[in-house]
Amino acid sequence: MKIDFATLLGIVAAVVGIGYGLALEGGSLTEILQPTAALIVFGGTAGATLVAQPMGAVWDATLRLVMLWRTSTPPAAEHIHAIVQMALKARQHGILSVENAVDQLDDRFLQRILRMGVDGIEPGEIESVATLDLEREADEADRAAAVLDSAGGFAPTIGILGAVLGLIQVMKHLEDIEEVGAGIAVAFVATIYGVAAANLILLPAAKKIRVQAEQLESIRRMQLDGALMLIRGRNPRLIRDRLQAYIGPPSNQPLPVPEAPPKAEAA
């Protein structure tokens, strides 16, 4: 996995922008650090989300949220190179000759479909199994994103609930106008937490999960296409050119086809 710098940069930009804006208005971060408000908003949002969504989906969404700063998209160019290398070898020595290379692959999806090809399973059956895997991965990502969408919808409302609870406590001390003013300011912190959680974390994270799932599916389909062409014995150069169309050339120069190993001379 690689670091998703866009996610990290977005978090930093949001925190710095909001914090600096607060400072320009004469405020300080300590004014919005209210444990009670945080407990109401995050606890209430978690509870509402658990009521609305299955436990397994909530757990998966939580894990994806925690790991959002890392991307699991496979390195497409490296896999194109590996597939072309194996296609050259298979074209010269047969599909069984790539067995060791398949075992050394670090991508389980690509390794699995190539292993089925080495084992003699028909390409149509391989494509059917792989398509089911792709549909399952897409469904899991969509369910996780739906959980975060739900939480993002609940958080602002729970924030308003927290503000109302705070105002109720303020109304008990109307005789002290200074305490009333400070209490109202604290009460509205819960609203800030709810709106910020929804619009800076939960809803953007749901969108990012869907985007990453689409990117992963595109790479998976490229891997499947290349593996099936290899298994069917297609020309390595044709495989290279077809797979390159999925990602586009990294420069004006096309990817080179690796040279085939020289054949041993007859004694």
Structure confidence by residue, pLDDT tens digits, 153-165: 999 999 999 888 8
d(CA 109, CA 73): 12
Q: Which of 135, 129, 149, 131 is nearest to 65 (CA)?
A: 149
Q: Which of 139, 191, 145 is nearest to 165 (CA)?
A: 191
Does residue 265 register a pLDDT over 50?
A: no
Mean pLDDT of the region 67-91: 84
Does residue 54 register a pLDDT over 90?
A: yes
pLDDT of residue 251: 43
Percent over 90 (pLDDT), the chain: 46
pLDDT of residue 41: 92
pTM over 0.75: yes
pLDDT band at 11 (very low <50, low <70, confident <90, very high): confident
Residues 210-244: pLDDT tens digits? 998 998 999 999 999 999 999 998 988 899 989 98
User: How far separated are the first and last CA of the chain, in Å rounded?
Assistant: 48
d(CA 76, CA 71): 13
d(CA 189, CA 102): 56
pLDDT of residue 172: 73
d(CA 79, CA 104): 12
What is the pLDDT of the chain when averaged over all its residues? Answer: 84
Q: Residue ranges of the alpha helices (H) in 104-260?
A: 108-118, 123-170, 177-187, 189-196, 203-231, 236-247
Give the list of residues 6+ apart from residue 205 with CB closer than 8 angstroms, or none: 64, 65, 68, 148
Tokens 């303020």 found at: 170
Residues 172-215: pLDDT tens digits? 766 666 666 666 767 788 898 999 999 999 999 999 999 989 98
DSSP-derived letter for residue 197 is: I
